[in-house]
Structure 1
Amino acid sequence: MAQTPHTIGNPLSWAAQRLSAAGAHVSAATRELGTDHAHTPRRVRTMAMSDISESLRAGWEDFKACRSDVLFIVLIYPVMGLLLMGMAFHQALLPLIFPMAAGFALLGPMAAVGLYEMSRRREMGLEASWRDAFAVLSSPAFGAMLVMGLYLIALFCAWMLTAHFIHQVTMGPAQYESFGAFLDQVFGTPGGWWMILLGCGVGFVFALAALAVSVISFPLLLHRHVGAPVAVMTSVRVLRKNPKVVLSWGALVAVLLVLGSLPLLLGLMLVLPLLGHASWHFYRRAVA
C-alpha cells in the first residue's frame, strides 16, 4: 500500500510547528543548566588572523550549500525593514533609528543559532537545509540558549534607553519635521556632534560587552551542551587569549553589517547568513 507523501509547508508554518514541539523540551532544557557536565571547562585555542578569512571562506561554502538566505528573507529581513520604516515615519522616534540599526548587532549571535545548526550538520556530513535551522528548538541546550538570549535582549534594551538619554542630554527634547531636518540638526549643530561622539563611545562599550560573552557562546552551547555559565566564561577566555583576533572579528562583523544595511537593507540578505555560518567556523577554530 502506497504511503501518503510527507510534505512540508512554507518556512513560517514549519517554524510554528517546531516552536510548538519545543514546549515539551523546555523543562528538560532548563535542567541542563545545572548538570555536572555543564561545569566542565573547555580548552581555548590560540588563534591567528588567518582564522578570520578561513571562517568567512567556510561560511560562504555553507551559505551556498544551504541557501540559508531563505531563512532571513522570510523571517528577519522584513521584520527589521518594517521596524525601521515605521520609525522613519514617526517623528518622535527619528533619533532612535540609528541606535536600533546598530543595536541589532547585539542580537546577532542569538538570531543566528539556526545557522549554527546548519553548519554543524554540514560539518558532520549530514544533509542541511533551512528546515534544520529549527532543530535548535528541541536541543538539550535550548534552556541555556534562552538564558543567553534574554541577556542579549536586556543589553539591547539598555542600549536603546542609553541612546535615548544621550539624545536628550545633547539635543534636548527636540521635535523634527522630517528625517532631513533631523540630519541637519545632527551634523549641523555642536549638540549633534556631541551626540555622535558620546553615542559611538558608549555604543562601543555595549558592543564589547556583547562580544565578550557571546562571541562563541551560542555555538558552544549547541555543540557541547556545557551550560550558560561555562559558555560565557569560555567566550571571555577566548577574548582574553586572542584579543587582536576577536576584536578584529567584531570590527569586521560591524563593518559588514553597515555595508549590508546601506542599500535599503537588501545587502543583509547576503551578509547575515554569511556571518552566521562563518561564526560557527570561528567558534570551531577558537575552542577545542
Structure 2
Amino acid sequence: MAKTDGHIDKTIGNPLSWAAHVIDAGSHHLGKGAHETAGRDTAPIVLREIGTRDLRAALRAGYEDFKAFRSDVIFLCVVYPLAGLILIRFAMNETLLPLLVPLITGFALLGPVAALGLYEMSRRRKAGGHPSWAAAFKVAEAPSAIAILTLGLALLAIFVVWMLSAWIIYAVTLGPEPPVSIGAFVSDTLTTGPGWAMIVVGTGLGFVLAVSVLAIGVISFPLLLDRHVGVRRAVRASVRLSRENPRTIAIWGAIVVAGLGLGMATLMIGLIFVLPILGHATWHLYRRAVEPAEELSEDYSV
C-alpha cells in the first residue's frame, strides 16, 4: 500500500507486490514483537458474565459477517476442508487406519488457528472498515503476532499429543499389528473387548483434550488480535471466562462440535460454510465477553 495526499491507497496491486508487502510488514512486526511476548497492554482484562442470549447474538452477528464476506470467506475456508480430505485420504492406508477417527476428531483442535483470518475480518468490519479476503493476512502484522504464533504452536502440540496417544491406545488394545482390512478393523473395534476399551479410553482422553482446547482458545486468539496482552494473560482470561461461565461455554462447545460434525459429515464440504460462521461468531462472542480496551493500539489500527 502507498500513501497519497495523506490518505492510504487501498489498492492491492499485483499479487506479487501485495504478498511482498505482507511479508515485509509481517517480518517487521514479528521482529519487533520477538522480545515482547509478554505483551505491552497492561490494562486489566475485564470479563463480563455471558449467557445463551450472548451465544445467539454472536451467532447472528457471525452469520451477518458471513453474508457480508461470502465470496471472500468461502475462498479462504476452502483450504481447511481440502487439507482435511488430504489427511483423511492419507489415513485410509491400512497401516494408518487406526488414526482415521482420531484424525477427523482431532482436526477440530486446530479450528481456532484456522479461523484467525476470520477474526481479523470481523474485527475490521466492526471498526467500520470494508475488508476483503486480503485483510485476513493482516494477522501477520499484528503486534501480538509472535504471541499468536506461540499459542498456535501450543494447539498444534496438543494435536500431535492426541495423535500419538491414539496410536498408543490402539497398540495396547487391538494392536500393535496394523489392521488387515477396513472391515476387519471395524468388526474388531465394535465386537471385541479390546475394541471397546480403545473406544472408551480414546473418547475419554479426546474429551479432556477438547475441553482443554475450548477453555484455552475460546477468547484467547481474538483477545491477542485485539490487544497486545501476551500469551499468558490471554490464556488466563480465556480459562477464567470458561470457569466463571461453565454452562454457557459448554453450550458453545456443543454448538461448535455439532457444526463441525455436520460439516465433516458432508465430506468436509459443509465446513466451507460452517467454519466462517463459527469463526466470525467467535469474534463477536469475545466482544460480548470482554470489556473493550479504553484506547486502541497505535501501531495496529484499521
Q: Give the TM-score normalised by the residue count of structure 1.
A: 0.91
Contact 2:77 2:276 (C-alpha < 8 Å) held by counterparts:
yes
Partner-residue secondary structure (3-state), 1:175: coil
Name 1:125's counterpart in structure 2: 128
Aligned-residue offset at 1:32: 2.9
Contact 1:60/1:278 (<8 A) preserved: yes
Give, in whole Å, the separation in 2 of the partners of 1:161 and 1:6. 43
Give the Cα–Cα distance (whole angstroms) in 1 for the partners of residues 200 and 254 of structure 2. 18
Mark the runs of 5 or more structure 1 residues left unpaired by the alignment.
Answer: none
Count of aligned positions:
279
> Is residue 76 of structure 2 the alignment partner of residue 71 of structure 1?
yes
The aligned runs of 1:31-46 (5 Å cut-off) are 31-37=35-41, 39-46=42-49
String of CA shifts for 1:62-88, please: whole Å, max 9, x gaps: 011112111011x22222211111211
Q: Distance in 2 between matches of 1:19 and 1:106?
A: 27
- 2:136 matched to 1:153? no
What is the CA distance between 1:20 and its match in structure 2?
A: 5.6
* Alpha-carbon distance between aligned partners in 2 of 1:16 and 1:253, rounded to the nearest angstrom: 35
Q: What percent of counterpart residues are identical? A: 46
Report deviation, 1:259.
1.2
Give the whole-Å Cα distance in 2 for the aligned partners of 1:83 and 1:264.
12
What is the root-mean-square deviation of aligned Cα atoms in Å?
1.9
SS at match of 1:249: helix
In 1, Cα distance between equivalents of 2:259 and 2:134: 26
Asked if structure 2 preserves the Cα contact closer than 8 Å seen for 1:40 and 1:230, the reply is: no
Q: In the alignment, what sits opposite 2:200?
A: 197
Structure 2: runs of 5 or more not aligned? 1-10, 292-302
**Which residue of structure 1 aligns with residue 232 of structure 2?**
229
Aligned residue in 2 for 1:28: 32
2:101 corresponds in structure 1 to 98
Separation of aligned partners in 1, 2:107 and 2:210: 10
Q: Distance in 1 between matches of 2:75 and 2:271?
A: 12
Give the TM-score taking structure 2 as reference length: 0.87
Q: Is the 8 A contact 2:38 2:232 kept in 1?
A: no
Greater percentage in helix: 1
Cα distance in 2 for residues equivalent to 1:86 and 1:20: 35
| Distance (Å, rounded) in 1 between the aligned partners of 2:27 and 2:191 | 52
Give the Å deviation of 1:248. 1.1
Q: Which residue pairs with 1:269 in the alignment?
A: 272
Alpha-carbon shift at residue 21 of structure 1 (Å): 4.3
